[in-house]
Amino acid sequence: MFHRKFALTAALAAAGMAAFIAPAPAQAQAAEQFVPLLVYRTGQFAPLGIPWADGKQDYLKLVNARDGGVNGVKLAFEECETAYDAAKGVECYERLKGKGTGASGFDTQSTGITFAVTDKAFADKVPVVTPGYGLSQSVDGTVFQWNFPLLGTYWTAADVMVQDIAKKEKGNLKGKKIALVYHDSPYGKEPIPLLQKRAAADGFELSLFPVTPPGVEQKSTWLQIRQQRPDYVLFWSAGVMTPAGIREAQASGYPREKIYAIWWAGSDHDVKDLGAGAKGYNAITIHNSAAMDKVHEELKKHVYDKGQGTGAAGSVGSLAHTRGMMISMLQVEGIRVAQERFGKGKTLTPEQVRWGMENLDLNADRLKALGFGQIMRPVKTTCANHMGNDWARIVQWNGSKWDMKSDWYQADQKHILPLVQELSAKYAKDKNITPRSCS
Amino acid sequence: MFYRENGQYKTSYGADLALFPVVQDRWAMLALALAAFVAIPLLASNYAFHAVLIPFSILAMAAIGLNVLVGYCGQISLGTGAFMAVGAYAAFNLQARIDGMPLLLALLGGGAAATLCGVLFGIPSLRIRGLYLAVATLAAQFFVDWFTNRVAWVTNDSASGSVSVGTLSMFGYALETPAQKYLLCAALLAVAAVLARNLARGAIGREWMAMRDMDVAASVIGIRPVHAKLTAFAVSSFIVGVAGALWGFVHLGSWEPAAFGIDKSLQLLFMIIIGGLGSIAGSFFGAAFIVLLPLLLNHVPHWFGLPLSTATAAHLEHMIFGALIVFFLVVEPHGLARLWATGRQKLRLWPFPH
Amino acid sequence: MGFFLETVLGGLMVGMLYALVALGFVLIYKASGVFNFAQGAMVLFGALAMARFSEWLPRWFGFDSALVANLAAFVVAVLVMVAVAWLVERLALRRLVNQEGITLLMATLGISYFLDGAGQLLFGSATYKIDIGMPKDPLMVLDGVFPGGLLVNQEDLYAALAAALLVATLTLFFQKTRTGRALRAVADDHQAAQSVGIPLQRIWVIVWAIGGFVALVAGVIWGSKLGVQFSISLVALKAFPVVILGGLTSVPGAIVGGLLIGVGEKLAEIYVGPMVGGGIENWFAYVLALMFLLVRPQGLFGDKIIDRV
């Protein structure tokens, strides 16, 4: 009996030692550009993470199948499961940063992991691509050389929401009550500094309601909302917290038309099961809602019809899936732009890809050619502005699909710019970074 | 034949009470120390440092701390993550608010803060025992989770609630390479291990073990329960706090409160159960097991060329993890340390059967 | 005043839902002496089974009626939970007889990880729907007494009634049937029960199956309320303070504990929470239970802990 136990343990130990001594098997061959895919297909955010990850992978497969890669350089990719945990995210980052000719860019899919990885990216010289999330102050490219919060941050989102509310209130927000119901984590807390600034400037009253993760129990939050009757609720949630919140809102009688959700809380999977119960629920999005554009047809033709699709065919076209595709598209275009400069048809180092991300210029024609013409607005990054242009609009759930409710907004930089400069200067001071000049 | 005490006579009490009385043990420990402090820093890859060695050394330290409380003193605690968090945030505050604070002092300061917190949350153990205490320590876990999220001065008024530390430096040397960071963790681990082992062998350790085995009888013969239990909480929280500070400073670099949630507490508890309760060597085994297993489960499908989706791999990892835990508990409830001890016993007699 | 009553009512009803989950803990602890950390995972597993089978069965067998789908899915889910109970007893419990409490606790933790992974592997990690026809809109009562009326969450109300019904059925089962008596005998003293010929292993399977059934009902109710996803297993973390406040060995204790915790945490969050920034619900429940324990270390209705030295 003892020998059996001992033998088993010894075998496990040997396997364990082999695992950490043996180098990871090389998978990216020559002439392949490696794109790491950090995803969460498990855990409390899985409902959001699964379509997002599917979208990211689907677009890369499309580029390989339809175009043969970027100027002949095929895209190699590998998924790594983080379950939204910072330690796992760091492990995935360490494992994948040097693969192939180096990781083209990390879309960490999580504000928490972005924080952990940003510091390391400075030392490892790897781009961190965080469209629509991440460190809001990393817009400042002079300090955050390696971060790219493309298309928008939580500050621009909060600002646009307030703009839309102001429009509904005929421009006068004085004395109105706006509540922020947020996931109690760095992700949920990001918009607070901007909202406080705007509350001071516009005269509305901001009340904060943190929800302990995973946000399954929200009865007290929505009872308090019922008591205080704010005019509008901004909902900063993700994963299972979203449907739980909407259901509690319904059960406590709060009109869903007054709820504005951030883009991660406004996708089909959040409201599909609720159907009419979520009717009127507003969300902000950095791209058109479930508009199907040429890219979706091409995806179907080149990938899904050949049985190569990552997720279920039914999830193509959902907001989160489209967003994933968009994020991959931005990454691929960054690689393409970098190739124009450093050598067409060659594999690139992460530093070179970073240059590409910094010099993105996707105008309307280019977007149309890529098949994203109706989905996105043009975006142009520069050395100092790593976000590009931020366009967002409000969509509303009508019980069975998302309707476009507003025109395109841009965030008012009056409040955002000083905040960005203040916090990025603080970061530079804390980390002893000299901001580079962008001339 | 090779491992026996034959011919090793002790000529002083000091020699008799040495940590490793058998000469072969001492040689083995020396070899281990050489491997850990000389060979590994020279040979291991960067990935091995970041993914295996640094987490292993920090978690082994935390497991030693928890073992003091659960294994030696018998107080089941599910709030270890909270004490790690207290250590990490206290160390961060010391470093961020006091200019020129030496790294070591910040880490030890974190440990001290965790000690205070541990003693405070250990007070209920004077009245509550067993499973009830386990659930009561969850109060500590959730309270600290909330506290670090809500109270601004804990995170030095960071708007997002996330904190990060700059480059670490000790005695003027910057700790930049993974090998240097690993050496710091390994050194502190060695100190903690020797500290815990010696405490456990001493009078206080005997008080703890008496409390674990029969606390009413122990108090009858004059062992003060307050003293024994609260010192166990204090020592355990100190070690766990320093480990937490290391986890935040060295391994993560930048963290949010969720990094020290209930998952961490359960992970540490798994380590000491699988490794062996009441055994320092067991803490090492358990930490190695828990750190290596997920990596193994992630890499093995690649070796066999099986295309598993990451979700499937993650779920399988959970299932295999759970199944292995039950398996180990069925096969050897006293953990890997008992297996190791039995192995050494057999080695003493080898090649004879008895 | 009206809002205060709304809060209390809401707290009472949510407390019943916690008690429903806590019931599983108490049943299993009473009869097999194991603190089942895997109860949350069992709630998740049951809810996933119900949600997915109610989706799959109509597709496989081609019928339309939602009622039939729900009933059939429920029956299948019950069978699944019984199978889980049998496997747990066979593979884990039988070999861990007479081990210390902490070993059994860790074993159930291992089982909980296993069920989490297996459930998501078999049924998926996205959010799934359970629709048993519960009304979602609020009910306003006592219009005359309070302006606008008191808000009552209809779904919670029905759920609380279902929980009460379940407790009543279980009490009848334990008092009136032979198996129930055998279960009470085993809960009292394993060895004595064995010596009068009660088959211990079969009783454990039955106990875990009943615990699984209770978990399934809790899973269906919570799943209907929130949608079924992995995070539902974390509801068990809310049930722990209920169990220790009420006493690990008492069914009425689970109910009373649930009500106390439910009301206590809601009142604290709404009246004390804003003063400290909010979000105190989670730890307040535990601290409340802790306060009670300091006065009564065995919980409100638990068996007195007797030490033989």
Q: Is A289 on the interface with C (CB under 8 A)?
A: no
The answer to whether position A350 is within a domain reads yes
Cross-strand pairs, A32: A74
Domains of chain B: 44-349 (1.10.3470)
Per residue in C83-115, pLDDT (tens digit) is: 999 999 888 888 887 777 778 888 999 999 999
Q: Look up residue B24 and give its two tokens.
A: 């072969």
Inter-chain CB proximity A79 and B309 less than 8 Å = yes
CA distances from C112 to B273, B318, B320, C107, C234 (A): 16, 9, 12, 9, 11
Number of structural domains chain A divides into: 2
Chain C nearest C-alpha distance from B174 (Å): 39
| Pair (A281, A294) in one structural domain | no
DSSP assignments along B4-63, one per residue: --TT----SHHHHT-SS-SHHHHHHHHHHHHIIIIIHHHH--HHHIIIIIHHHHHHHHHH
Inter-chain CB proximity C276 and B316 less than 8 Å = no
Chain A nearest C-alpha distance from B188 (Å): 21
Chain A residues touching residue B159 (CB < 8 angstroms): 189-190, 192-193, 423
| Pair (A51, A98) in one structural domain | yes
Residue of A nearest to B143 (CA): A212
Q: Look up residue A192 and give its two tokens.
A: 């607070």
Q: Is A50 on the interface with C (CB under 8 A)?
A: yes
Least CB–CB distance from B292: residue in A20, A87, A91 = A20
Q: Look up residue B105 and give its two tokens.
A: 């002092």
| Pair (A170, A284) in one structural domain | yes
Q: Residue C142: is its pLDDT beyond 80?
A: no
Per residue in C110-131, pLDDT (tens digit) is: 999 999 999 999 998 888 888 8
Chain A residues touching residue C10 (CB < 8 angstroms): 219, 223
Chain A residues touching residue C14 (CB < 8 angstroms): 217, 219
Chain A nearest C-alpha distance from C177 (Å): 37
Chain B nearest C-alpha distance from C143 (Å): 38
Comparing C-alpha atoms, which of A55, A50, A54 is closest to residue A84? Answer: A50
Q: What is the CATH classification number for the domain harbouring A315? A: 3.40.50.2300
Least CB–CB distance from B135: residue in C240, C282, C307 = C240
| Pair (A190, A277) in one structural domain | yes
| Pair (A171, A217) in one structural domain | yes
Q: Predicted confidence band at C209 (pLDDT cuts at 50, 70, 90)?
A: very high
Inter-chain CB proximity A251 and C266 less than 8 Å = no
Domain that holds residue A229: 154-289+394-411
| Pair (A199, A308) in one structural domain | no
Chain A nearest C-alpha distance from B126 (Å): 30
| Pair (A276, A301) in one structural domain | no
Chain B residues touching residue A91 (CB < 8 angstroms): 50-51
Residue of A nearest to C226 (CA): A244
Chain B nearest C-alpha distance from A186 (Å): 5
Inter-chain CB proximity C136 and A239 less than 8 Å = no
Least CB–CB distance from B310: residue in A81, A212, A432 = A81
The answer to whether position A257 is within a domain reads yes
Least CB–CB distance from B159: residue in A95, A115, A189 = A189
Comparing C-alpha atoms, which of C236, C237, C221, C91 is closest to residue C163? Answer: C221
The answer to whether position A21 is within a domain reads no
Tens of pLDDT along chain A (439 residues) come to: 566 666 665 665 555 555 454 444 444 455 788 999 999 988 888 888 888 999 999 999 999 998 888 888 899 998 888 888 888 888 889 888 888 888 888 999 988 888 888 888 888 899 999 988 888 888 888 889 899 998 888 999 999 999 999 998 888 888 899 999 999 888 888 899 999 999 999 899 999 999 988 888 888 899 899 888 999 999 999 888 898 899 889 888 899 999 999 988 888 878 888 888 888 899 988 876 557 888 888 888 888 888 888 888 777 888 888 889 999 999 999 999 999 998 888 888 899 999 999 998 988 898 888 888 888 888 899 888 888 888 888 889 888 888 888 888 888 888 889 989 988 888 888 778 888 888 6
Inter-chain CB proximity B252 and A87 less than 8 Å = yes
| Pair (A378, A251) in one structural domain | no
| Pair (A256, A283) in one structural domain | yes
pTM of the model: 0.90
Domains of chain C: 2-295 (1.10.3470)
What is the interface size between B and C, counted as CB pairs within 8 Å?
144
pLDDT on residue A12: 59
Chain B nearest C-alpha distance from A190 (Å): 5
| Pair (A206, A61) in one structural domain | no
The answer to whether position A17 is within a domain reads no
| Pair (A51, A125) in one structural domain | yes
Residue C9 φ/ψ region, left for φ over 0, alpha for ψ in the -120 to 50 degree band, beta for the rest: alpha
The answer to whether position A251 is within a domain reads yes
Tens of pLDDT along chain B (354 residues) come to: 677 777 888 899 988 888 888 888 889 999 999 999 999 999 988 888 888 999 999 999 999 999 999 999 989 899 999 999 999 999 999 988 888 888 999 999 999 999 999 999 999 888 888 888 888 889 999 999 999 988 888 888 777 778 888 778 888 788 888 899 999 999 999 999 999 999 999 999 999 999 998 888 999 999 999 999 999 999 999 999 999 999 999 998 888 888 898 989 999 998 998 899 889 999 999 999 999 988 887 777 777 777 777 788 888 888 988 898 898 888 888 889 999 999 888 888 888 877
Q: Which of residues 201-220 of B touch C (CB under 8 A)?
A: 214, 216-217, 220
CA distances from C99 to B267, B330, C94, C103 (A): 21, 9, 11, 6
| Predicted ipTM of the assembly | 0.89
Going through A272-350 in order, the beta strands assigned E by DSSP cover 282-285
pLDDT on residue A178: 93
Least CB–CB distance from B256: residue in A86, A90, A210 = A86
The answer to whether position A4 is within a domain reads no
Place of tokens 């602890």: C29
pLDDT on residue A378: 87
Inter-chain CB proximity B136 and C290 less than 8 Å = yes
B interface test, pick of A9, A17, A44, A54 with most B CB neighbours within 10 Å: A9
The answer to whether position A22 is within a domain reads no
* C39-61 vs C101-123: helix crossing angle, rounded to 10: 20
The answer to whether position A38 is within a domain reads yes
Q: Residue C234: is its pLDDT beyond 60?
A: yes
Phi, psi of C133 (to 5 degrees): 80, 20
